[in-house]
Amino acid sequence: MTKRPYNRRSEEERIEQLTARIEHLKQRMEQKQRKDGPVLKEMPKLRKVLVRFAEIAMQCERADLSMSTQAFLAGLERTVGEVPDEPRSRGRQPRSSLLALN
């Protein structure tokens, strides 16, 4: 049996891997703090069901349903990644801000 060759990582490679790990942890922390966390958690399940539906539609020669489902899924995935704006209040502005404008 021959020995397996070992490659030592250089300092730069180790730094790159640690930096990537830090970025990954920062992203996880931001996702946990988002209010729409349960929505993001359910997205993979929805994606799986929609992809399966699109495949079944294609097999049943309903390309129109399949393409519509794929387009809907693409739009949904694009908007899920965006952070929603804070809702604007529709009420009156406080008096202090009205006085500051004058």
Whole-prediction pTM value?
A: 0.53
Tokens of 31: 């996702």
CA distance 52 to 44: 12
Which residues have CB under 8 Å from 43's CB, separation 6+? 77, 80
C-alpha span between 72 and 61 (Å, rounded)? 19
In this structure, is residue 49 part of a structural domain?
A: yes
Q: Is 42 helix (H, G, I), strand (E, B) or coil?
A: helix
CA distance 17 to 28: 17
Q: Is the pLDDT of residue 102 over 60?
A: no
Q: Is residue 72 part of a domain?
A: yes
**Structural domain range at position 74:** 36-80
Domain assignment present for residue 41? The answer is yes
5 domain residue, yes or no:
no
pLDDT of residue 16: 96
Q: Does some domain include residue 16?
A: no
Is residue 61 in a domain?
A: yes
Stretch among 2-11, 33-42, 61-70 having the lowest mean pLDDT: 33-42
The span from the CA of 65 to the CA of 56, in Å, is 10
- Residue 86 inside a domain? The answer is no
Contact yes or no for 78/47 (Cβ under 8 A): no
Half-sphere exposure of 69 (CA within 13 A, CB side): 18
User: Is residue 8 in a domain?
Assistant: no
- The average pLDDT across 72-92 equals 75
Q: Give the count of domains, the chain.
A: 1
